[in-house]
Amino acid sequence: MKIVECPRDAWQGHHTFIPTPEKAAYINQLLRVGFDTIDFGSFVSASAMPQVRDTAHLIDRLDLSGTSTRLLSIVANERGAQEACAFEQIRYLGFPFSVSETFQMRNTHSTISESLGRVERITAAAHQHGKEVVIYISMGFGNPYDDEWNTDIVLNWVDKLSLLGIRIFSLSDTVGVARETDISSLFAQLISTRPDLEFGAHFHSLPGQWKTKLDAAFLSGCRRFDGAILGYGGCPMAQDDLVGNMPTEKLIAFAKEKKEPIRIDIEALEMAKGMFIRLINS
C-alpha cells in the first residue's frame, strides 16, 4: 500500500504564510518517515495560492539523500509545468482535472476542453524531462454544483487522458460527497479493466466517514492513498471547514489492520506531527 503525504494540500488554505525555512525543515522530517511520495508544493499563481508561492525556493533546501520518497508538485498550466521540470528533484507533476465544468473553471480558470489541451502540453513537457504526470480527477465522486456526474463520465475521461501517456490517476473526493457504492463501483471497474494504469484515492472526509471510504476503495483493489497529518486542510476552492484531508495516522492504522506492508518510521512520523502542530499554531 502506497501512502502519499500531502503537506501542500494541508497548508495551502492556511491563512498565515509559513516561512520557507520552517516548511523545508518540516518536509525534510517527512522525508525521513518513509512515504512513497510527498506532495510538497505547487507551481501556480502566487495570487491564487499565496501559501505555496515559495515552492521553487524550497527545493534546494530539501535533503533527498538516503530516501526513496519521491516529490510531487501541482501545476495548473504549461508555464507551471516548465518551471517544475527545471528541477531534477521533482519526479511527478500533478494536474487537477475536474469532471465538473464549474469546478474546473473555479480551480484552474479553464474549461474541461481547454484543460485537456493543457494536460497534453504538460504531459509532453514532463515526458521530455523524464517526469510522470499524475492526474487528480477532481469532483470524481460528484459535485455540489448540479453538474452532470456518473461513473461513465469518470471512466471516459480516464480513457481519454490515458491516451496521452498518463499512467497514474488519483480519484479525488473534493468536497467529501463520495458514497460507498460509487467508490466501490469506480475502483472495481477501473482496476479490473485497466491493469496498465495505477489508481489512487484522494479522499476528503468528515471525521466520522473516513473508515467506510477507505474500506470501499481497498476492497475494490485500490492500494494508493493520499493523506495529510491530522487530516488538516482540504481544497480552498471548494472549502467546507468540516471536510478535511484523510488523516495520515488513520491510513497507517488502516494499513496495519489490513496487514499491508508499509515502511513507515513511527518515531519520525511523531516528530513530524509535533513540527506540524507548531507550524500551524505559530
Q: In terms of Cα–Cα distance, which of 109, 31, 105, 116 is closest to 70?
A: 31
In the chain, the percentage of residues whose pLDDT exceeds 90 is: 83
The per-residue pLDDT for range 139-185, each reduced to its tens digit, is: 999 999 999 999 999 999 999 999 999 999 999 998 888 999 999 99
Q: How many helices (H) and strands (E) does the chain have?
A: 11, 9
Residue 280: per-residue pLDDT: 86
**Which domains are assigned to the chain?**
38-224+233-244 (3.20.20.70)
For 73-94, write each residue's pLDDT tens digit: 999 999 999 999 999 999 999 9
The owner of cell 522525508 is 31
What's the chain's Rg over C-alpha atoms?
17
The per-residue pLDDT for 243 is 57
pLDDT in tens, 225-278: 999 999 987 554 444 454 578 999 999 999 999 999 999 999 999 999 999 999
Dihedral sign (CA 228, 230, 233, 234):
positive
Mean per-residue pLDDT of the chain: 93
Q: In terms of DSSP H, where are the helices of the chain? A: 7-11, 20-30, 55-58, 78-85, 101-108, 112-128, 151-162, 180-193, 210-219, 248-257, 266-281
Read off the pLDDT of each residue in 37-53 and give the average, rounded to a whole number: 92
pLDDT (mean) for 37-52: 91
Predicted model pTM:
0.94
* 67 has a pLDDT exceeding 60: yes
Q: What pLDDT is attached to residue 234? A: 57
Beta bridge partners of 3: 225
pLDDT at residue 237, rounded to an integer: 42
Backbone φ/ψ region at 103: left (φ over 0), alpha (ψ -120 to 50), beta: alpha
